[in-house]
Structure 1
Amino acid sequence: MTDQNNSNPKPKIPLKLKYVKLGYHYLISNAIYLILIPLSIMISSAPLQTLITNKNLEIVWNIMKLNYMAVVSCLALLIILGTVYFMNRPKPVYLVDFACCKPDSARKVTKMTCMERIVLYGTFTQQNIEFQRKIFERSGVGDATYLPESVIQVPPNPTISEARKEAENVMYASIDEVLGKTGVSTKEIGVLIVNCSLFNPLPSLSAMIVNRYKLRGNIITYNLGGMGCSAGLISMDLARDLLQVHPNSYALVVSMESITQNWYCGNNRSMLIPNCLFRMGGAAILLSNKCRDRNRSKYCLMHVVRTHKGADDKSYRCAYQQEDEDGYRGVTLSKDLMAVAGEALKTNITTLGPLVLPISEQLLFLATLVAKKIFRFHKIKPYIPDFKLAFEHFCIHAGGRAVLEELEKNLELPPLLMEPSRMTLYRFGNTSSSSLWYELAYLEAKGRIKKGDRIWQIGFGSGFKCNSAVWRSLHRVDPCKEKNPWVDEIHEFPVHVPQVATNIMPTIGS
């Protein structure tokens, strides 16, 4: 997960070639209009009397009278099929609003504070103290992230009661805010889904919410655990399926992670990296399938595509929770993580591409595939579709600087489209599955969400999984009317995050 300077910068597309490709895209995308407009002109230039005459109408009427039963049967069949289609088509799922937790300022920590605690714990060797210092410098995480009190205190206090306290603070703050923003009563919520990978108490987190907000007795609840940082999009998929079969319902989705019991105090280097990246945070999202909510909702869910590579042993073990030889519990990140993530992304976008890419990009992809596979032109590189033609905004899981740089290179994204992910990592750290919502909140606070904009959320998680969700904006989001964790400080962003931060943190001795 550490980052290295890119000594081979990506070659820029020549300006003429760029405009040729742009012209090709517009030509293919608007081909139907280019064909229909001349055809319409030709038809309209012919005398109307030659097309519609009493004699022609009389011939048509006579044919219909002779085939009266056939005509009636066809009309009845069309009405029946139309009724069945409209009754059984998938119901649109709307995102009414969402809220991200901004923890109390007392939980705010700098990298220096983290290093001081690491030294005071007394469990790390000098070499691993220095290793964590270097990771902090290269992580892309800033000096205003949040950690629970149980981690900040010395020694740390990783008890179940402290973990519950952390979960309550994050969940209740985000739920209170989203209910306040939407005005929805707790009795109207029919579906509740909570995802938290590393903390699964008894009673469950979903039961804690039901008890706190006195939700109704027939509410459908799910508690997803152990599914990693992409669990938030899995929750979206589950909520969408449930809203298809439960009419006139609201679904509340809560995405979070718990730090308290998973701060690693041992000396296995592959388990030390999460200490430098993961931070406190969470989000609550309110979904609806009610037609009357369309006008006040922010987004409509278009697609969810899920990819699971768990059948491969290398993928399965690349993010693995376990105890080390001294009994300290943590999450091991394999050196194969980036390669596994790349393969999972490739599989995911292969499925997603035909659903979202314009026909011009699909034709180019098909042409290179045919040339390579059928005509054996092995020197031709596989064509990477331009997803910037399909989406206006990208929310890529802020897993770490290395993850973001790899996706930036593979998807050929400019800095502006990577900005929400980089700034979320810098300001809030890796908040696991909820990071995608901090990124969307950043776009809203910047005033970049316009009506009809398409947003692509990409999440990666243990297992190994890559999941995508596509949203379409239903109206412009006015940043002046928004309440989210960025609004009070959005004028300070974006900030420059150097490749390697120098002199921001001195070496601390043990």
Structure 2
Amino acid sequence: MSAQMSARINAIATAVPDCDFEQDYRHWALRRLEGRREAKVFARMADRSGIEHRWSVLDEEDAKLEEGRGFYAAEPPSTAERMAIYAQEAPELALSAIAKLGEVGTISHIVVASCTGFVAPGVDQIIARRLGLAGSVERVLVGFMGCYAAVTALRTARHIVRSEPGARVLVVTVELSSLHHQDHDQIEPLLAGAQFGDGAAAAVVTGEGPGLELGEGLSATLEDSAGLITWHIGDTGFHMHLSGEVPGRIRDALLTPEVRDRIAGDALPQAFAVHAGGRSILDAVEAGLALGPSALDHSRAVLRDFGNMSSSTLMFVLERTLRDTPRDGVALAFGPGLAMEGFRFGWSA
């Protein structure tokens, strides 16, 4: 890594809610497709998804996707009702992750990323007050960027530390994807909904101590891909479109010499921290970069245990990567655009 002023992730902690709704969702989706050929297709793809658990801030009764029961009973809840839950639960889940960091010292800046809700005062301000931080703490809120927002948050923390060497930056991601279930009877949106769950993560970024040193940023946007991943605010929550073309487009982009050279250079790095957006996404990255069968083990483990938690997912992967103290590595995430965002990293003692 560069000898100039560096920024390091000193610690990462994560948190998920208590309610595992994965099996409830599968049963609900199969009922929507009952009697049609797509029901068998959905069951087969769900079994092959690599996901065994997803977690929701809703309690077990409210998370029921059945008519007449829970939060999604009969009429779909309005966006206002969903945002009311976000305003209450997002700060709580974020604070749970922060608490697991232990003593973090005097925080000078907070960078919060979240794309599954809106509230003002923002989650950043609520967290600062609940932690009893000084009113002079500088705050940045990264919103609605989707799955690669953690990259933006961490790169922002890097810029802060490199410009203010004494800064101690608290980076937080919190996503409540389960608040945005939609009542569909078509297989494509049901499969997209089968990917997402809730989770939060927190990290401390400073210019000292051991940790993952944050290096050069990586960005790329695919041509003619703006409609492949979209996220719209509707009257009944946020509506996501996730095209089945996404994995193939990612694989093809990674196979191009220009993109591959930017990521790998002369030799593949020791570690890859890749956003666990889905099994097909991870398979596409593995194929596009010609990685070994164990290169994405951390990403696949996060996908298995938590599903896709939007911006928080990469932080969960980095938490595991941090424990390995890798010599060098690359973090990558994919989201609306269709865009790739990432950065290089390497262990620094």
TM-score range, shorter chain: 0.7 to 0.9
TM-aligned CA distance change 1:131 to 1:264, over 3 Å: farther
Task: Determine whether 1:91 maps to 2:11.
Answer: no
Work out which of the residue numbers 158, 178, 184 in structure 1 matches 2:104.
184
Deviation of 1:140 after TM superposition, in Å, equals 1.0
- 2:185 matched residue in structure 1: 267
Q: Secondary structure at the residue paired with 1:469?
A: strand
Cα offsets for 1:211-240 (capped at 9, x unmatched)? 211322222211111211111011111111
Q: Secondary structure at the residue paired with 1:281?
A: strand
TM-aligned CA distance change 1:108 to 1:306, over 3 Å: same
- 1:337 matched residue in structure 2: 246
- 1:115 matched residue in structure 2: 26
- Which structure has the highest helix share of the two? 1
Q: List runs of 5+ in structure 2 lacking aligned partners.
A: none
Work out which of the two has the higher radius of gyration on C-alpha atoms and give 1 or 2. Answer: 1
- 2:178–2:198 Cα contact (<8 Å) kept: no
- 1:434 matched residue in structure 2: 312
Look up the equivalent residue of 1:152 and give its one-letter code: A
CA distance in 1, matches of 2:333, 2:225: 15
Cα offsets for 1:443-465 (capped at 9, x unmatched)? 456xxx24x61122111111222
- 1:253 matched residue in structure 2: 171
Q: Secondary structure at the residue paired with 2:296?
A: helix
Work out which of the residue numbers 91, 102, 105 in structure 2 matches 1:168.
91
TM-aligned CA distance change 1:242 to 1:442, over 3 Å: closer
Q: Secondary structure at the residue paired with 1:272?
A: helix
Task: Determine whether 1:140 maps to 2:140.
Answer: no
- 1:306–1:348 Cα contact (<8 Å) kept: no
Work out which of the residue numbers 287, 290, 300 in structure 1 matches 2:213.
300
Following superposition of structure 1 onto structure 2, how do residues 69-468 of structure 1 map, counting pairs within 5 Å?
A: 90-104=4-18, 107-111=19-23, 113-118=24-29, 124-126=32-34, 127=36, 132-142=42-52, 144-149=53-58, 152-153=63-64, 154-156=69-71, 159=81, 160-178=83-101, 180=102, 183-185=103-105, 188-289=106-207, 293-294=208-209, 297-309=210-222, 312=223, 314-322=224-232, 329-342=238-251, 345=254, 346=256, 348-353=259-264, 357=265, 361=266, 386-387=267-268, 391-443=269-321, 449-450=324-325, 453-468=327-342
Percent identity for Structure 1 against Structure 2: 21
Q: List runs of 5+ in structure 1 lacking aligned partners.
A: 1-88, 362-385, 476-510
TM-aligned CA distance change 1:328 to 1:203, over 3 Å: closer
CA distance in 2, matches of 1:168, 1:468: 26
CA distance in 1, matches of 2:233, 2:168: 40
CA distance in 2, matches of 1:424, 1:199: 23
Deviation of 1:339 after TM superposition, in Å, equals 3.6
Cα offsets for 1:70-89 (capped at 9, x unmatched)? xxxxxxxxxxxxxxxxxxx8
TM-aligned CA distance change 1:327 to 1:210, over 3 Å: closer
- 1:399–1:430 Cα contact (<8 Å) kept: yes
Following superposition of structure 1 onto structure 2, how do residues 47-66 of structure 1 map, counting pairs within 5 Å?
A: none
Deviation of 1:131 after TM superposition, in Å, equals 5.2
Look up the equivalent residue of 2:305 and give its one-letter code: R
Q: Secondary structure at the residue paired with 1:413?
A: coil
- 1:395–1:436 Cα contact (<8 Å) kept: yes
CA distance in 2, matches of 1:348, 1:256: 30
TM-aligned CA distance change 1:265 to 1:235, over 3 Å: same
Look up the equivalent residue of 1:242 and give its one-letter code: I
- 1:227–1:463 Cα contact (<8 Å) kept: no
Q: Secondary structure at the residue paired with 1:277?
A: coil
Number of residues of Structure 1 aligned to a counterpart in Structure 2: 330
CA distance in 1, matches of 2:302, 2:178: 21
- 2:116–2:238 Cα contact (<8 Å) kept: no
Q: Secondary structure at the residue paired with 1:332?
A: strand
- 1:148–1:259 Cα contact (<8 Å) kept: no
- Which structure has the highest strand share of the two? 2
Deviation of 1:284 after TM superposition, in Å, equals 0.5
Q: Which has the higher contact order (CA 8 A, sep 6+)?
A: 2
- 2:231–2:239 Cα contact (<8 Å) kept: yes
Look up the equivalent residue of 1:172 and give its one-letter code: L
Deviation of 1:168 after TM superposition, in Å, equals 2.5
Q: Secondary structure at the residue paired with 2:308?
A: coil
